[in-house]
């Protein structure tokens, strides 16, 4: 990995650590503020186009999730050229919600832009794959 790719991956990993810590402000510092935003979450109503919508989503997530734990990523790829980077990563996550322990797999495809020398997330998709061999969502 070259320096730009490594920096983009580090920015995403830092974001994931902030998410696990339920730190809204730190999560928001990973989101672009000088570029248009388009983020899609795992629920069908999770389409975010503004900083306010993203902030609201973090607050909602953190009110419903406790003890968020990312495990070692299984697959990842980072590419960077000029002021754009892309990071694709798959990693298991565990957390508590509504009194139950949840363990699942998250996949992120993120586009990052350079703002003031730092990589910031401007667009992306989060997905939770369904069980292999199943064709029903």
Predicted pLDDT at 22: 98
The per-residue pLDDT for range 26-53, each reduced to its tens digit, is 999 999 999 999 999 999 999 999 999 9
The CATH code of domain 3-127 reads 3.10.450.50
Domain positions in the chain are: 3-127
* Local confidence band at 117 (pLDDT 50, 70, 90 cut-offs): very high
pTM of the model: 0.93
Q: CA 64, CA 69: separation in Å to the nearest integer?
A: 14
Q: CA 132, CA 135: separation in Å to the nearest integer?
A: 8
Predicted pLDDT at 92: 97
> Residue 118 pLDDT > 80, yes or no?
yes
**Structural contact between residues 39 and 48, judged by C-beta atoms closer than 8 angstroms:** yes
């Amino acid at each position: 990995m070259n320096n730009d790719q490594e920096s983009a991956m580090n920015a995403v990993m830092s974001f994931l650590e902030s998410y696990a810590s339920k730190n809204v402000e730190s999560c928001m510092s990973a989101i672009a503020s000088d570029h248009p935003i388009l983020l899609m979450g795992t629920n069908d109503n999770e389409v975010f186009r503004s900083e306010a919508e993203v902030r609201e989503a973090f607050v909602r997530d953190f009110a419903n999730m406790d003890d968020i734990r990312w495990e070692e990523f299984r697959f990842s790829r980072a590419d960077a050229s000029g002021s754009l980077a892309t990071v694709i990563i798959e990693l298991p996550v565990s957390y508590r919600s509504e009194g139950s322990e949840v363990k699942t797999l998250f996949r992120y495809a993120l586009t990052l832009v350079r703002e003031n020398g730092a990589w910031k997330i401007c667009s992306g998709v989060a997905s939770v794959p369904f069980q292999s061999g199943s064709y029903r969502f």
